[in-house]
Amino acid sequence: MASLTEVPNPVTPGAIFKFIPNLIGYGRVITLILSYFTMANHPIITMGFLYSASCLLDAFDGYYARKFNQSTQFGAVLDMVTDRCSTCSLIVFLAVLYPNYFIAWQALISLDLASHYIHMYAQIVSGSTSHKKMREEANWLLKLYYENRVFLFLVCAFNETFYIALYLNYFDFLYIPGTNISLAFWTTIICSPVWFFKQICNVIQMINACQILAELDAKKYNDARKAN
């Protein structure tokens, strides 16, 4: 019997679904869905086991994809879609907990989805081999964000921790001894600069992707005119 780490020859579509990083991706999806059922009444189970597990597994799929040479377009899309679903689902629940800020939550979800969708689409149609591979003339901040794995991991981790801490703060989670301030509140404060930086990156990412698409459109029209 072939090992899970062995890439079969020939590679079939069914084999792609069984690649180790993709199996990890399925684990992310399952734990995320389970967290939906505990989020309202069981914050410790949600953030201590389920939602946090879905986020932590994100650190391993890419590693194993590189380790076993099992990088796939399906895996990249699965990873991106799961990231967006997890962040947006938590923001949706924050809108329930903090309804006075519903416009902010709507704006954050819209920015997250729009920037990542346009970015991935622009990378695909421009012929890039990965949505994390930036062209030379790309914004330096965007290149730092996507091409430095440690930096990317830390920014994403702080961004998720910001939302998780907001969630836990609603449940008065872990008050600091001798104070009436929760540890979750201070965690939100500490993570907020990196969270804000992530939103800036989302805006830059969207502008950069729009520029790529506009350049491709201009090239198409100019090539058509030359052909005529």
Helix (H, G, I), strand (E, B), or coil: what is residue 128?
coil
pLDDT tier at 1 (50, 70, 90 boundaries)? very low
217 is catalytic: no
d(CA 28, CA 19): 15
Examine the domain organization and report whether 64 and 158 are in the same domain: no
Cβ 70 vs Cβ 7: under 8 Å = yes
d(CA 57, CA 79): 10
Mean pLDDT of the chain: 89
Residue range 33-91, pLDDT digits in tens:
999 999 999 999 999 899 999 998 988 888 898 888 898 889 989 999 999 999 999 99
Examine the domain organization and report whether 135 and 33 are in the same domain: no
Give me the pLDDT at residue 226, please.
Answer: 87
Domain with 121 in it: 98-227
Residue range 84-140, pLDDT digits in tens:
999 999 999 999 999 999 999 999 999 999 999 999 999 888 887 677 777 777 778
- Active-site residue (options: 83, 112, 172, 217): 83
Asked, for residue 92, whether it belongs to a domain, the answer is no
Give me the pLDDT at residue 148, please.
Answer: 87
Q: Annotate 68-110 with DSSP letters as a single string.
A: TT---HHHHHHHHHHHHHHHHHHHHHHHHH-GGGHHHHHHHHH
Write out the H or E segment, with its range, that includes residue 125. Answer: helix 102-125
In this model, does residue 2 exceed pLDDT 60?
A: no
Examine the domain organization and report whether 61 and 110 are in the same domain: no
Examine the domain organization and report whether 134 and 223 are in the same domain: yes
d(CA 157, CA 160): 5
Asked, for residue 82, whether it belongs to a domain, the answer is no
Peptide bond preceding 21: is omega within 30 degrees of 0, i.e. cis? no
> How many CA atoms lie within 13 Å of 27's alpha carbon, on the beta-carbon side?
18
Examine the domain organization and report whether 201 and 143 are in the same domain: yes
Stated pTM of the model: 0.89
Give me the pLDDT at residue 5, please.
Answer: 67
Q: Which residue has the higher pLDDT, 35 or 177?
A: 35
pLDDT tier at 6 (50, 70, 90 boundaries)? low
Cβ 31 vs Cβ 55: under 8 Å = no
Both tokens assigned to 1 = 């019997």
Examine the domain organization and report whether 59 and 104 are in the same domain: no
| Number of domains composing the chain | 2
Examine the domain organization and report whether 160 and 212 are in the same domain: yes
Q: For the chain, give the percent of residues with pLDDT over 70.
A: 94
Non-local CB neighbours of 158 within 8 Å, separated by 6+ positions:
191, 194, 195, 198
Nearest residue to 92 (alpha-carbon basis) of 101, 79, 105, 104: 105
Residue range 154-172, pLDDT digits in tens:
999 999 999 999 999 998 7
> In this structure, what is the dihedral angle of CA atoms 148, 151, 157, 163, given to the nearest 10 degrees?
-110
Asked, for residue 78, whether it belongs to a domain, the answer is no
Distance of CA 172 to CAs 96, 113, 163, Å? 16, 30, 15
Nearest residue to 19 (alpha-carbon basis) of 31, 4, 9: 4
Examine the domain organization and report whether 116 and 204 are in the same domain: yes
